[in-house]
Chain A
């Protein structure tokens, strides 16, 4: 039901921007963090130089992008919890709308704001972190959206287990941020202890970092087919589990 999907997506976009805190948290926070970090490090950020850790010099844009995805997921978890607790999901289900249409609309809203935030990041960060012409921004945007979709599917799973809206933020944060810690951005996945390595291998953020890094460096999609495949596999797995355990009320 395409008309319902587009209508609901448009409606949710309008509702989202009417809440200042949501927009600041999702769009403003990653941009602000990126600007502050870049500014602290000055022009050194863009190129590897002594005194600047490798993850900052090379991976700052990757880190910022991952934060965008993380904010989108946290926002989704909170919205799902609030909508469920308020009976909004149930009310929407008591219409000819298909259940997946309702959820897809929210994914589309999150993807739109992810792309917008990335654009804001590139524009605002231009002064401190000039993006060279060698960086394929379009490919990077597409890669980030693909990563976000995969991480959002984990978000639906988390949204299923969150008992009330009050717990949505803490539980979401407690899962999403450690996930970034294990993603290979700060410590290579291979040098993690065996248990953590195993956990990292089942998390979409790990493949997201590998893919985003590669695309940013201009390695191309072909070199990262495995990452894309794993993001897709995890998406299918998480959605399949969510479809079974997702609670509408």
Chain B
């Protein structure tokens, strides 16, 4: 019998993912590997609310977390800085489990690959996270540290809200179907992770990750 140690920690997460970054609409990282931001860097804030999930026997449903990251160039070129915030409502076991998963230690894509691109990683930081997972008006915030608010794209012709999706029928690397919008607010000020990007790329999706 083959024993695979990577399967020791079996996990799966199905989550609301609220994503904002410094790219213009479309986010080059999703397709071409390179961010289409003005500076060529990638700076992103991602909010997650676990719909259903587990690490081994431990249930992770209902937990909220925020992931902040910045890379000087394209993600795959590395040298990234990251921070993981977990909501105070999570139990101590859940916090440990999410930290193990999100730091790539339990394996599984895409987190393991993302984790490999960081040179600095802080967390888990326990804090109060406010989050709204409504599809086109999703938002999350941590008092005095960060805030994200998404709004739908508005048609310049009719002024109506547009229903824009990016889909990966064969499976995307973060998610398969994203509702694309605009960042009404997006900023963070936490130690050496500091940025603000308003009116840029935003996506709301259901992410299904696991190992």
Answer yes or no: are A and B bound together in one complex.
no
Binding site for A on B (CB under 8 A): none
